[in-house]
Amino acid sequence: MNIEFRQAILPRELRSLTRFDRKVFSPADAFPPSYWKECEAWWMLLNGRKTGCCAFQRDIEFLEDIAPDGRNPAREGFLYIATTGLLPEYQGRNLGALLKAWEIAYARHHGFRRIVTNTRRRNKRMIELNKAFGFQIVRTTPRYYAEPVDATVVMELRLSQRK
DSSP annotation of 72: P
> pLDDT (tens digit, 9 = 90+) per residue, 64-85?
999 999 999 999 999 999 999 9
Residue 9 lies in a domain: yes
46 φψ region: left (φ > 0), alpha (ψ -120 to 50), beta (else): beta
Residue 163 lies in a domain: no
Question: At 39, which CATH number?
Answer: 3.40.630.30
> pLDDT (tens digit, 9 = 90+) per residue, 23-58?
999 988 999 999 999 999 999 999 999 999 999 999
Whole domain around residue 19: which residue ranges?
3-158
> pLDDT (tens digit, 9 = 90+) per residue, 93-115?
999 999 999 999 999 999 999 99
Question: Is the pTM above the cut of 0.85?
Answer: yes
pLDDT on residue 161: 63
Residue 1 banded pLDDT, cuts 50, 70, 90: confident
Domain count, the chain: 1
35 φψ region: left (φ > 0), alpha (ψ -120 to 50), beta (else): alpha
Q: In the predicted model, what is the mean pLDDT of the chain? A: 95
Length in residues, the chain: 163
Residue 66 lies in a domain: yes
Distance CA 119, CA 122 (A): 8
Q: Which of 72, 81, 57, 64 is nearest to 129 (CA)?
A: 81
Q: For the chain, what is the total number of helices (H) and then of strands (E)?
A: 4, 7
Residue 163 banded pLDDT, cuts 50, 70, 90: very low
